[in-house]
C-alpha cells in the first residue's frame, strides 16, 4: 500500500526533553487510524508534526511523497492535508452557514471580502448547503454556532474541515464533551461524510476506547514519545498488558 502520510524516524526534542523518539508510521488509502496513549505520550506533538506546525528535530514527514516538515497548516491545507480547527471556538457568533462558508471561501482562494461573498456567491452558497446536508446541519444554517448543542458544535467543527476538500483529515477527539449516547452517531456521520467527500484517510486522536475499537482499521499507540504498538483492533485489544500501558486497566477511561 502506497503511503499517503508517513513519518520516517521522526524525533522531536525540546531542550533536554525528547517528545518523540524514532517514530515511523505509515497511513494508507482507505484507513482510519486511531492514535492513542496516556497523557504525555507524545500524541499532540505527533499531530502537530504531521500537520506542519512543528519541524522534526530529526527524521522526515511525508505527504503524498513530498517532505512537509514545518511547512505550516495553510500550505498543507492547499495540498489536501487538513486538521479540524474548531472555528466555533474562535468565532462563536458566526452562523453555521458563515462558519462553513469561511472554509469554502478559503478553499476557493476567495479570501478577500470573506463574508460579503456568502450571500452573493451562488457557488459558495451551494457548497455550504451541500456540506451542511452531509453533516445533518442544513436546518441550522442560520443558527448562531454558540447556541448549537455540543454534538452539533462538534459536527460543525469537522464540517468546516471537510469543506476544505481534504484527501487526509486529522481529527483531535471529535466527540469530546459529547454524551456517550451521541458519540457513535457522530462517528458514523463523520465516516459516511468522509466517504461521500472522497477523503482517502482519517487520523483520529481519541481517548474513548469504545470508539477506537468500533471504527479503527489500525491503532497506533504511543508511550514516552515512542510507538509501542501499530496493530489492527482485534490484536490491540487482545493484549491486556498493552491496554494497561496505554489507558489503564479500565477500558474506556
Q: Structural domains in the chain?
A: 1-80+167-175+199-253 (3.40.50.300), 81-165 (3.40.50.300)
* Sheet of 3-14, strands arranged across: 17-28, 3-14, 58-63, 66-67
| Phi, psi values for residue 213, rounded to 5° | -65, -35
Report whether pLDDT(249) > 60: no
**Percentage above 90 pLDDT, the chain:** 58
* pLDDT reading at 130 higher than 90: yes
Q: What is the pLDDT of residue 102?
A: 85
User: Quick one: cell of 52?
Assistant: 506542519
Sheet holding 81-83, edge to edge: 81-83, 168-172, 201-205, 32-36, 218-223, 226-231
- The pTM (predicted TM-score) of the whole model is 0.88
Cα end-to-end distance, the chain, whole Å: 33
Q: Is a pLDDT exceeding 70 seen at residue 86?
A: no
Residue 39 confidence (pLDDT): 86
Query: Residue 164: CB partners within 8 Å, gap ≥ 6?
Result: 77, 82, 103, 106, 107
Amino acid at each position: 500500500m502506497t503511503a499517503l502520510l508517513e513519518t520516517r524516524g521522526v524525533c522531536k526534542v525540546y531542550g533536554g526533553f525528547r517528545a518523540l523518539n524514532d517514530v515511523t508510521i505509515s497511513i494508507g488509502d482507505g484507513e482510519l487510524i486511531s492514535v492513542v496513549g496516556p497523557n504525555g505520550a507524545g500524541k499532540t506533538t505527533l499531530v502537530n508534526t504531521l500537520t506542519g506546525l512543528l519541524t522534526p528535530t530529526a527524521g522526515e514527514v511525508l505527504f503524498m511523497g513530498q517532505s512537509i516538515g514545518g511547512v505550516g497548516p495553510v500550505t498543507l491545507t492547499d495540498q489536501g492535508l487538513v486538521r479540524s480547527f474548531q472555528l466555533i471556538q474562535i468565532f462563536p457568533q458566526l452562523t453555521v452557514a458563515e462558519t462553513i462558508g469561511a472554509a469554502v471561501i478559503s478553499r476557493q482562494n476567495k479570501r478577500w471580502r470573506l463574508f460579503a461573498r456568502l450571500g452573493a456567491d451562488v457557488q459558495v452558497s451551494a457548497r455550504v448547503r451541500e456540506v451542511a446536508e452531509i453533516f445533518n446541519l442544513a436546518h441550522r444554517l442560520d443558527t448562531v454556532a454558540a447556541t448549537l448543542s455540543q454534538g452539533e458544535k462538534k459536527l460543525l467543527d469537522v464540517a468546516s474541515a471537510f469543506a476544505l476538500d481534504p484527501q487526509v483529515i486529522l481529527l483531535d477527539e471529535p466527540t469530546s464533551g459529547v454524551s456517550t449516547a451521541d458519540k457513535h452517531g457522530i462517528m458514523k456521520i463523520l465516516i459516511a461524510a468522509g466517504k461521500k467527500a472522497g477523503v482517502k484517510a482519517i487520523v483520529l486522536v481519541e481517548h474513548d476506547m469504545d470508539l477506537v475499537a468500533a471504527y479503527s482499521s489500525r491503532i497506533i499507540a504511543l508511550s514516552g514519545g515512542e510507538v509501542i504498538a501499530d496493530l489492527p483492533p482485534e490484536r490491540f485489544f487482545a493484549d491486556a498488558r498493552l491496554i494497561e500501558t496505554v489507558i489503564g486497566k479500565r477500558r474506556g477511561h
